[in-house]
Amino acid sequence: MALRPSVENLRALGQWTQGHRWGLQFIRLPSVLSGYRSEDLNYRAESITLPRLNTPTSDIEVRGNMVHQTGKGEYEKTITLTAIETVNNIVQHFIHDWREHHWELGNGSTGKTADKNLLEAELQITLLNNVDLPRWSYTLIGCILEGGEPGLEPANEADPQKPVLNITYDRFDESWVDHEGFGEDIA
C-alpha cells in the first residue's frame, strides 16, 4: 500500500460527499405549537451543526506505567440551525412562539412555563448522497429551544435576514441508510 495516494487511488474512492446535501425534518414539533410545518423550516434552513458524542479518557497510572481508559460518553447537547427568513417571518414566529412557551412573559404574565413534554420536539437530520438519497441519519431526542435570535443586520441591502436557533437535545440516535431506504440503527 502506498502512503501517498495517486490520482487513480482517489478516483477509485468514488463520489465525494457534498456539504449542501442534507435535509431537516421535525419528526415531532412541540405540542404547544400549532400551524407550523416541518417543510417550512427545512426549505429555509441554510446550515446546521451536526450532533456530537464525545468520549473523554482518563489516565490510569500505576507504579510509573500509564494507560488510557475511556469514560462515559457525553453528548455535546446543542446544535445551531441558521435559516434564511422570508417576508412572512415564519422562522421569527416559530422562534417567538416556542420561546414564549418556555417562559411566558407576554400579555402581562409574571412568567410561567409549559410542561417539558409539551415543549420538546424530535428532530431528524438526514445526510444525502449525490443523487439526494438518504445515506446517514441523526435523530435528536428531547429537543428544546435554548435560544434564538433574529440574525444580524445584512451587510448589504440584498442580503437576507438569517435567524439562528440554538436547539438543545438530550441524546441522539444515528443510523446508516442504504440506497434502498432501509437502514441499520447504530446507537
Q: Specify the residue for cell string 477509485.
A: 12
Q: What is the pLDDT of residue 182?
A: 47
Contact 181, 140 (CB under 8 A): no
How many other β-carbons are positioned within 10 Å of the β-carbon of residue 119? 19
Segment-wise mean pLDDT, segments of 10 residues, the chain, 187 residues:
84 84 94 93 93 92 91 93 92 92 76 87 93 92 92 74 94 83 48
Domain architecture of the chain: domains with CATH: 19-53+76-185 (2.30.110)
Euclidean distance between CA atoms 60 and 170, whole angstroms = 30
Confidence at residue 187, expressed as pLDDT on a 0 to 100 scale: 47
Give residue 44's pLDDT: 93
DSSP state of 73: -
* The predicted structure's pLDDT at residue 53: 93
> What pLDDT sits at residue 141?
97
| The pLDDT of residue 179 | 58
